[in-house]
Structure 1
Amino acid sequence: MSKDNKPIGPSQRMLRVGELVRHALAAIFARGDVEDDALRGSVITVPEVRMTPDLKIANAYIMPLGGMHAEEIVAALNRHRKFIRGRVAPQINMKFAPEMRFYVDDTFEEAGRIDSLLRSDRVQRDLDGDEDESQD
């Protein structure tokens, strides 16, 4: 809780709607409903959809399988976002369909960067130093 007793982070409703939108997007991409040369032959995953507190904007983080041409695919999806919104609307059963915004999901890249840092010689040396001190 924050100082003014408001919850920190997304609400349950934001998480629930984000998950509904994520499933709808995954189904649309699996069926190949969006026709664009940049998307042809691409398998697109949707690891996360973050909703704004008013549920009017869905920020969808996507990653093509293998990570190839991610920026081009995001640009293509953003070009077709009104069409995609129209396909998502009937699947999520809400009064208003959220506006779609697509971004490249960099969580795998960030996790890899953190993993390589943890495996670095400098960190390993520090960890080995801690073990020596604990044996004293």
Structure 2
Amino acid sequence: MESKRQQKVGRQIQKDLGEIFQKDAPHLSSGSFITITAVRVTPDLGIARAYLSFLPDKNKAEILKNIQQNTKFLRQKLGDRVRHQLRIVPHLQFYLDDTAEYASKMDQLFSDLVIPPAPPEEDEDQDSTQS
């Protein structure tokens, strides 16, 4: 479970990374809209794991690879923004957030389920009167 400090730092990094992707690094997105869905920070605040979602979904792996190759640039930009709040700028790790795809897949599975109707309740009433 994350401490309050980890959660606060994670939210701040999430906000700052969103602004960085919009203003300072639009060239990394290749025309896609990038959403930082979550940021998880280690207890020592040394590593921040950012989960990204892309719209449209085309070339997700390619965009993620481009972002991972430019981690040093993104960390520098993040450091410029959080230098007065954090003693150490965390190392950034970027992951693809597949929560929406997972939810869609689960919805599809549930919609494909065939649930037989419940047996009529008359059978239960007859059994209880005979006893």
Q: TM-score, normalised by structure 1?
A: 0.78
- Please give the alpha-carbon distance, in whole angstroms, between the structure 1 residues aligned to 2:60 and 2:6: 26
- Structure 1: where are the runs of 5+ without partners? 1-8
When residues 32 and 89 of structure 1 are mapped into structure 2, their CA distance, relative to the original with a 3 A threshold, is closer
1:87-131: CA deviations, max 9, x gaps? Answer: 112323200100011111011111112212222233xx16x439x
Instruction: Give the match's secondary structure for 2:118.
Output: helix
Q: TM-score, normalised by structure 2?
A: 0.81
**RMSD (Å) for aligned C-alpha atoms:** 2.0
Letter in structure 1 aligned against 2:11: E
- Please give the alpha-carbon distance, in whole angstroms, between the structure 1 residues aligned to 2:56 and 2:21: 16
Aligned length: 120
Instruction: Give the match's secondary structure for 2:107.
Output: helix
Contact 2:14 2:39 in 1 (8 A): yes
- Give matches, 1:8-47, under 5 Å: 9-33=1-25, 35-36=27-28, 39-47=29-37
Contact 2:52 2:97 in 1 (8 A): yes
Q: Corresponding residue for 1:64?
A: 54
Whether 1:121 aligns to 2:110 is no
1:28-68: CA deviations, max 9, x gaps? Answer: 111142544xx331211111111111111111111111222
When residues 14 and 129 of structure 1 are mapped into structure 2, their CA distance, relative to the original with a 3 A threshold, is farther
- Please give the alpha-carbon distance, in whole angstroms, between the structure 2 residues aligned to 1:105 and 1:83: 22
Q: Corresponding residue for 1:88?
A: 78
- Structure 2: where are the runs of 5+ without partners? 125-131
- Identity across aligned pairs (percent)? 32
